[in-house]
Structure 1
Amino acid sequence: MAERVDRPEYPTALGASSLEKITLLGHDLAKDVMGEVGFGELAFWLATQRRPGRGEVRVFEAVLAALADHGFTPTAIVTRLTYLSAPDSVQGALAAGLLGGGSRFLGVTEDTGRFLHDVLTSVDGLPADEDGWDALALETVRARRAAKRFVPGLGHHVHKQGDPRTPRLMEIATEEGLFGPHLSLFAAIGRVHPQVLGRTLPLNGAGVCGAALADLGLPLELLRGFALLARTAGLIGQLAEELRNPVGNDIFLSVDLNNRSVEPEPYTPEDRP
């Protein structure tokens, strides 16, 4: 008799396949999920392993829509240029764009959510009214100013008079009863920061998305992942447009034909920021 070999087990509540069917989150993929569950709802469900309510899906999908595309950002440009260089590698073009999701573009969603969460978990009890939120926000902005650090989610290089995504997402969250402490603190920062900074800056869309995702109880470690999920759809749109109306080569040539040779500037340790 052959000796029994113990094999390691790898438990998962996500996808699993057998000869007859595929299960996902404990449900029959073909019968219970396909055609029955929207992609946004499924993405939320996969991340939390709990099926979201209708209002949660609406807020979550509003976030995805807000982050999907924002014009010729660096992520869009590098996707188009990578496709120009390697049209045989759609995955490379998409990956190139997603890899640019950092502290200036897309990563602000995670940075803002984490920042707000850190503030909220550092206080004894949450404010009960708008005055209380304003007081907490004022203390928070003053502390960041004293530390010579930026407030994540505050300011936008284009929407200097106000990011149109911000009030709309706050409105949707309010309608669904999901305007929680992260959004409350973020809104208060928008009201009080001029007292500290001496100027008015908009609450940007990536920041409000981070606050909304945190209020949905989504893992803070995955907030950037949701931003990248949204931008993937946008980058597919950028590639689809590049196929129909290519501009990648024009972008490349505008740099290649207009470069100017200058004398080298040797780097020295004194050049460190």
Structure 2
Amino acid sequence: MHSGKPREPTTQICVAKADSIEVRGRDLCHDLMGRLSFTEYFYLLLTGREPTESQRYFLDLLLIAIAEHGMVPTVQAARMTLSADPDSLQGALAAGLLGCGPVLLGTSELCGKLLTEAQARVAAGEDADAVAFGLVQDIRNSGRKVPGFGHPIHRPTDPRAERILTLADVRKVSGSNVAMARRIGAAVSMVWGKPLVMNVSMPIAAVLLDLEFPAAMIKAIPLLARTGGILAHLFEELQNPVGFAMTAHAEAAVTYRRGDQSGD
């Protein structure tokens, strides 16, 4: 049973033949292998186009920026899963990636949506500074947090965010989205009455949008990056297991309290 209007099922990504593999209209073995880096190949797979030098440079930069951040919950979940089943590398990797949501790692996606909304309003004729302030004020009034601002460790600045923005300026790729990110940062300081750290998620989204990266796939960058980081932790876990130690510390850190048994 079809849902929606029936249409011919097609793909433009890849076809495998007896003697060749074609990817996005290019011969995998004789054109792509040995010529493209993995970052360039990923961009081609995703968009159907080979990246410009600036797109490749910043995609590499952003993947490196977000790949590793220590014993974060996604890494803990992966390492503890591997401790339970040392033969399930793919299961442990999946366990870590399943924890990559909007609270941890996935905030760049929300930043992208905020920037896209802001740009749509500016394109409709609204003042850019007023748009930034209005969006931030609405978020504060609703009791929410502005995506891309605040960090439990990095204060007063997130060094990754500072480096991304600096290089975007130096290499002249900063456009309307980087400018809007900075306007939103200024608005956050006014609305909250104090400066909040712009964390790495906002520059990731802003630079990707200014480089014409698909907005719907912004979250793919932290996911792809963190896959590399998690795999490094899993290799270390095989050599130097800490999963059960983390379990023991969790048990020690959480106090059991008997709930009310009265039924009231």
TM-score (norm 1): 0.86
Equivalent-residue separation in structure 2 for 1:50 and 1:176 (angstroms): 21
| Unpaired stretches in structure 2, ≥5 consecutive residues | 1-6
Equivalent-residue separation in structure 2 for 1:113 and 1:143 (angstroms): 17
Partner of 2:152: 157
Partner of 1:217: 212
Equivalent-residue separation in structure 2 for 1:148 and 1:257 (angstroms): 33
For residues 115-264 of structure 1, what are the structure 2 equivalents within 5 Å? Answer: 115-124=114-123, 133-256=128-251, 260-264=255-259
RMSD of the alignment, in Å? 2.2
Aligned residues: 256
User: Once the two structures are superposed, what CA deviation does each residue of 1:54-73 show, in whole Å capped at 9, x if it has no partner?
Assistant: 11111111111111011111
* Structure 1 residues 28 and 195, CA gap change in structure 2 (3 angstroms): same
TM-score (norm 2): 0.89
Partner of 2:4: none
User: Once the two structures are superposed, what CA deviation does each residue of 1:159-214 show, in whole Å capped at 9, x if it has no partner?
Assistant: 12110011111122223332122211112222342221011111001222122222
* Structure 1 residues 46 and 249, CA gap change in structure 2 (3 angstroms): same
Does the aligned pair in 1 maintain the 2:118–2:132 contact within 8 Å?
no
1:257 to partner: Cα distance: 5.3
Aligned amino acid, residue 194 of structure 2? R
User: Once the two structures are superposed, what CA deviation does each residue of 1:91-147 show, in whole Å capped at 9, x if it has no partner?
Assistant: 0100000000111111101011111111111233689xxxx6544422332232233
1:247 to partner: Cα distance: 1.3
* Structure 1 residues 203 and 258, CA gap change in structure 2 (3 angstroms): closer
SS at match of 2:186: helix
Does the aligned pair in 2 maintain the 1:45–1:52 contact within 8 Å?
yes
Partner of 1:5: none
* Structure 1 residues 211 and 265, CA gap change in structure 2 (3 angstroms): farther
Equivalent-residue separation in structure 2 for 1:240 and 1:58 (angstroms): 28
Partner of 1:60: 59
1:154 to partner: Cα distance: 0.8
SS at match of 1:122: helix
* Structure 1 residues 168 and 21, CA gap change in structure 2 (3 angstroms): same
| Unpaired stretches in structure 1, ≥5 consecutive residues | 1-7, 269-273
Aligned amino acid, residue 255 of structure 1? A
Aligned amino acid, residue 213 of structure 1? L
**Residues 8-17 or 198-207, more deviating:** 8-17
* Structure 1 residues 264 and 194, CA gap change in structure 2 (3 angstroms): same
Does the aligned pair in 2 maintain the 1:134–1:191 contact within 8 Å?
no
1:259 to partner: Cα distance: 5.2
Equivalent-residue separation in structure 2 for 1:50 and 1:85 (angstroms): 42
Equivalent-residue separation in structure 2 for 1:136 and 1:167 (angstroms): 24
Partner of 1:271: none
* Structure 1 residues 36 and 203, CA gap change in structure 2 (3 angstroms): same
User: Once the two structures are superposed, what CA deviation does each residue of 1:15-67 show, in whole Å capped at 9, x if it has no partner?
Assistant: 21111111111111011111110111111121111111011111111111111
Equivalent-residue separation in structure 2 for 1:258 and 1:157 (angstroms): 19
* Structure 1 residues 217 and 265, CA gap change in structure 2 (3 angstroms): farther
1:149 to partner: Cα distance: 2.5
Partner of 2:28: 29
Does the aligned pair in 1 maintain the 2:39–2:56 contact within 8 Å?
yes
Partner of 2:93: 94
Aligned amino acid, residue 80 of structure 1? R
